[in-house]
Chain A
Amino acid sequence: DTAVSQTPKYLVTQMGNDKSIKCEQNLGHDTMYWYKQDSKKFLKIMFSYNNKELIINETVPNRFSPKSPDKAHLNLHINSLELGDSAVYFCASSETGAGGYTFGSGTRLTVV
């Protein structure tokens, strides 16, 4: 029983394409996140949703658009992909204010 699941695990696509990454959690958490991990293993927050509401929106190009249809799902859509978007994207969830994330297994995005 995967607690936080992301799909796809690997995504290779050409520059200029539009792609989506999906995330679902079955932990009953009310907060979900998207993190980007660059080649140096540095994890940087992109977005956070609490009960379907956007609460954290870091400095991210507006080509990235998160969507949360319900509190168990947080999807990430990326328009006009660029080479610099290549990274591993992690979804995570937590109880609000309780700390302790549970991470998904990551989506390795490669833009060619």
Chain B
Amino acid sequence: EDKVVQSPLSLVVHEGDTVTLNCSYEVTNFRSLLWYKQEKKAPTFLFMLTSSGIEKKSGRLSSILDKKELFSILNITATQTGDSAVYLCAATTDSWGKFQFGAGTQVVVTP
């Protein structure tokens, strides 16, 4: 059975801290791994990772994929209160874009 596991489930940090979110996956016919940020409404796309070892960056966020060990991490540096959200990762398992989502990590950034 395909599964995606995220850790931790939740964390609270102070502004300026760095957070690292983990996502491990066991899926058949893996194609790519995606990270999303979900605040009050729809998840918004952050990164898509298909190759091992290549870091993707967007501002204070970065992510990397390890296809040998079957995991990905999402880093957020110099956190701000606006980073408070649920961060979801998802692994796509076939050519039709069927994604298996993890349960998410709730991040709370306090002033």
Contact = CB atoms under 8 A, between A and B. Distances in A.
A101 B50 CA distance: 15
Interface in B23-53: 31-32, 34, 38, 41-45, 48, 50
A105 B38 CA distance: 11
Given A41-B103, A104-B42, A106-B41, A99 B48 contact: yes
A104 B41 CA distance: 9
Given A31-B96, A56-B96, A100 B48 contact: yes
Given A31-B97, A98-B97, A90 B42 contact: yes
A48 B34 CA distance: 18
Contacts of A100: 34, 45, 48
B6 to A, nearest CB: 10
A45 B98 contact: yes
A10 B105 CA distance: 25
Interface residues of B, number: 25
A99 B31 contact: yes
Contacts of B43: 43, 90, 101, 103
A4 to B, nearest CB: 8
Contacts of A55: 96
Contacts of B103: 40-42
Given A31-B97, A42-B104, 20 more contacts: A33-B97, A40-B103, A41-B86, A41-B106, A43-B90, A43-B101, A48-B97, A50-B96, A55-B96, A56-B98, A90-B43, A96-B95, A99-B48, A99-B92, A99-B97, A100-B45, A101-B97, A104-B42, A105-B41, A106-B42
Interface of B: 31-32, 34, 38, 41-45, 48, 50, 86, 88, 90, 92, 95-101, 103-104, 106
**Top-3 shortest CB links A-B:** A103-B42, A43-B101, A99-B32
